[in-house]
Amino acid sequence: MKVPLSWLAEYVELVEHSPKSVMEQLVRVGLEEESAIGGDIAGPVVVGQVLDFVEEAQSNGKTIRWCQVRVAKDGQLSIDGGEAVRGIVCGARNFEIGDKVVVSLPGSVLPGGFAISARKTYGHVSDGMIASSKELGLGDDHAGILRLHELNLDPEIGSDAIEVLGLGESAAEVNVTPDRGYCLSIRGIAREYSHATGKKFTDPASQVKPLTGQGFALKVLDNSPIHGQPGCTNFALLGVEGINASAPTPSWMKNRLKLAGMRSISIAVDITNYVMLELGQPLHAYDLDKLSGGITVRRAQDKESIETLDGKQRRLHAGDLLICDDSGPIGIAGVMGGARTEVSESTTRVLLEAAVFDPISIARSARRHKLPSEASKRFERGVD
C-alpha cells in the first residue's frame, strides 16, 4: 500500500512528515516497510504566461516556437531572481498567446532526475522549459504542453507550480499481509498509525452521509452459495445526475492517485478509485442511460458471456457472481465491469455501486478469468 503523506495527515497527526518516520511507526504495529516514493521534483518551477511566439522552420524539417514567457509579475524579479520575461524554445504547438503554463526554470529538477539548465538550441538560448504533463509526472500525455486552464486553474503568474499542482508530495510504501485487508486504505493505515503513536484518529467514514431518495430496483439472488456463504451481503446504489464526464481530473487528485500507484483514467473512474483508496470500499460507476431496467445480483447461467471493460469477451462460469440488468450481465461482481454500460465522455448520469461480496467468490472469479484488480484485491481480503 502506497500512502501519500498529506492524505494520511488529513486523518491522523503525523509525528514527523517523512516517509521514513511513517514507515517506522507502522512497523511497530506489524506492517512491513517497503520504500519511500515521490518528492523527486525540485524548483524553481513556476506558473508562466505565454506573451508571444514566433514559429521557425528548421533544416531537419521540424518547426519550433521561439516563445516569450512571463514568469513573474510586471516589475518584479522571478522566483529565481532572474528576469520576469524569458525566451524559451518549445517544440509543442498546442498552446496560444495568453495561455498559462508551467515553466521549469534553470536549476530545477523534474521527475526522473531531468535537470533543467539554460542551453543554446535551434539558434537561441532557451532559458528554461515549458513542461508537459508527462514531464511533470502527472500522467502519460506527452503530446503537448500542460495548459493550466484545461485543469480549471487560473493561478497567479510567478506562483510556485509545485505547490499549485501538488507535485512536491511524498509517500510511504508498506507491505500489507493478507489478513489485514483493511490496511489497503488511507483509513486503515491512519487507524494503525494512531495505535502506534497515540495520535488522534479522525475516521473519514464518519463523514459519509446516509443514502436518501426513492431507491433503485434491486434484487439479490444467489442459488449457489459457496460453502453456504451468500455471494453478496450488502449492496447499495446511488444515482448521480448532471455530471460532466469529460471534465479534467483535478491535478491534486491525479497526483495523489499516482503516488498511491494508480493511473488517472477519467474523472468518473478517478473519483471511484479515490474513494476506494481512502475508505477501502471499491465502487463501480455505470452509465445510467445505458442500463435496461433494474439491477439483479446472481450467479452466471449456462453459456452466458460478457464483454468486460478491457474489450475481451469472456465465457462465464456457474460460480461467477454477476451484476445484471434486464438485458443480461453488466459486470463480474467485484472483479470488472462490462463494456456495455461503461461511462464515456458523453455520460451525464451515473449509477454508483457499493457492495460487500463474499471473498471466496471474488477470489475464484478473479483467478478463473485472470483478472486481478485493485477492487478484487480488497474484496478477497474482506471489505472493512
Task: Kindly state whether residue 106 falls inside one of the protein's structural domains.
Answer: yes
Closest CA to 248 of 149, 114, 123, 135: 149
Query: Are residues 30 and 99 both part of a single domain?
Result: no
Task: Kindly state whether residue 203 falls inside one of the protein's structural domains.
Answer: no
The contacts of residue 209 (CB under 8 Å, 6+ apart) are none
Phi–psi pair at 167, nearest 5 degrees: -90, -15
Task: Kindly state whether residue 55 falls inside one of the protein's structural domains.
Answer: yes
Query: Are residues 133 and 282 both part of a single domain?
Result: no
Cell of 245: 464526464
Instruction: Give pLDDT tens digits for 329-377.
Output: 999 999 999 999 999 999 999 999 999 999 999 999 999 999 999 999 9
Task: Kindly state whether residue 34 falls inside one of the protein's structural domains.
Answer: yes
Phi–psi pair at 239, nearest 5 degrees: -90, 140
Which residues in 201-211 are b (16+ Cβ under 10 Å) and which e?
Answer: beebeeeeeee
Please give the pLDDT value at position 213. Answer: 66
State how many domains the chain has: 3
**In the chain, which stretches have pLDDT less than 50?**
none
Query: Are residues 161 and 297 both part of a single domain?
Result: no
Query: Are residues 344 and 225 both part of a single domain?
Result: yes
Give the predicted TM-score (pTM) of the model: 0.78
In this structure, what CATH number is given to the domain that contains residue 83? 2.40.50.140
Query: Are residues 318 and 192 both part of a single domain?
Result: no
Please give the pLDDT value at position 142. Answer: 61
Please give the pLDDT value at position 141. Answer: 64
| Residue 184: DSSP 8-state | S
Q: Which helix (H) or strand (E) holds 381?
A: helix 374-381
Task: Kindly state whether residue 127 falls inside one of the protein's structural domains.
Answer: yes
Query: Are residues 273 and 132 both part of a single domain?
Result: no
Task: Kindly state whether residue 202 falls inside one of the protein's structural domains.
Answer: no
Query: Are residues 261 and 354 both part of a single domain?
Result: yes
CA distances from 170 to 22, 106, 166, 246, 257 (A): 11, 23, 10, 29, 12
Query: Are residues 151 and 291 both part of a single domain?
Result: no
Query: Are residues 258 and 321 both part of a single domain?
Result: yes
Q: Which of 165, 188, 218 represents a domain boundary (last residue)?
A: 165
Please give the pLDDT value at position 220. Answer: 85
Residue carrying C-alpha cell 503525523: 14
Please give the pLDDT value at position 214. Answer: 67
Structural contact between residues 309 and 337, judged by C-beta atoms closer than 8 angstroms? yes
User: For helices 186-197 and 19-27, what crossing angle results, to 10°?
Assistant: 70
In this structure, what CATH number is given to the domain that contains residue 332? 3.50.40.10
Query: Are residues 34 and 56 both part of a single domain?
Result: no
Query: Are residues 97 and 178 both part of a single domain?
Result: no
Task: Kindly state whether residue 280 falls inside one of the protein's structural domains.
Answer: yes
Give the structural domain span for 239. Answer: 208-381
Task: Kindly state whether residue 346 falls inside one of the protein's structural domains.
Answer: yes
First-to-final CA distance of the chain: 16
Query: Are residues 50 and 81 both part of a single domain?
Result: yes
